[in-house]
Amino acid sequence: MAVGFVDCHCHMSAEEFSQDVEDIIERSKKKGVQVLVSVTEHEGEFKRIISLSERFPDYIMPCFGIHPIQNCLEGLRSVTIKDLEPALAQFYNYKDRLVAIGEVGLDFTPWLAPTSVQREEQLKVFQMQMDIAKDLDLPINVHSRSAGHQTIAFLKEQGAQKVLLHNFAGRPSVALEGVRAGFYFSFPPAVTRNEQRVKLIKQIPLEHICLETDSPSLGPKKEERNEPSNIHLSCEYIASVKGLKAEFVREVTTHNALGLFSNIHK
């Protein structure tokens, strides 16, 4: 039996998937996806992702996390401790259901977190969720936009061990610091339209790479909704960059994912 794909970072509780989730799941299964590791961005998604994991047992694997950028009525803004506080009990209430803490991390995009006060609060929110991950012995699914160096340095400083850096776009030298720390890196189908990642993918050993879609975002076409069924595009692109067979990349990345997200086996 062929080894299936593991989508290590997607957003199945996103509003964009609310109307046709059954069809999306059916398409992903037909494309050989065996597991979806689904992250959240705010506490309002927690119950929905648990509900989806109950509707699709052994297929949708839930993660809880508070993203460093929050989408509010007034628009996007940097996360605060107040965004995390209402969620804290939920991590523990559902601890036996979770496969990771995520999506968490740092986003120092200048127009979203321009001040040192905002960035310090992001670090605090990130640290608090890392502490939960350590307490529950769960990996962390990490966002690092415009903060690749700071994110990896902070993860190492905090002694984080089980780490996936999703859609990493930092310098190869920074990524290799993460490789030496034992971290994993995942890439979505959007890499097929961005040659800037070629050098990065070439230098990160396959033993430290996983596959993701980040669906409904970061698909092969910017204007179209992305789905987990597109994960084969990430696999094929990584294979072409590294000069390997796609089947081999699929097998190794799935082995990596199942090792990192060990609660999938439960």
Neighbouring C-beta atoms of residue 57, cutoff 10 Å: 8
Distance between CA atoms of residues 103 and 175, nearest Å: 19
7 is in an annotated binding site: no
227 is in an annotated binding site: no
Which residues lie below 8 Å from residue 115, measured CB to CB, with a gap of 6+? none
User: In terms of Cα–Cα distance, which of 119, 108, 105 is closest to 63?
Assistant: 105
- Could you tell me the two tokens for 168? 């990493």
11 is in an annotated binding site: yes
149 is in an annotated binding site: no
Distance between CA atoms of residues 226 and 218, nearest Å: 7
Q: How far is CA 238 from CA 69, 110, 217, in A?
A: 29, 30, 19
Tell which phi-psi region holds residue 231, choosing left (phi > 0), alpha (psi between -120 and 50) or beta: alpha
Which residues lie below 8 Å from residue 166, measured CB to CB, with a gap of 6+? 8, 9, 102, 103, 141, 142, 143, 186, 188, 212, 214
Contact, 71 vs 95, CB < 8 A? no
Burial, 169: exposed, middle or buried (Cβ in 10 Å; 0-12, 13-18, 19+)? Answer: middle
Task: Transcribe 54-80 into DSSP letters.
Answer: HHSTTTEEEEE---SEEEETTEEEE--
- Could you tell me the two tokens for 165? 């850096």
103 is in an annotated binding site: yes
214 is in an annotated binding site: yes
Residue ranges of the annotated binding site are 9, 11, 103, 143, 166, 214
Residue ranges of the annotated binding site for a divalent metal cation are 9, 11, 103, 143, 166, 214
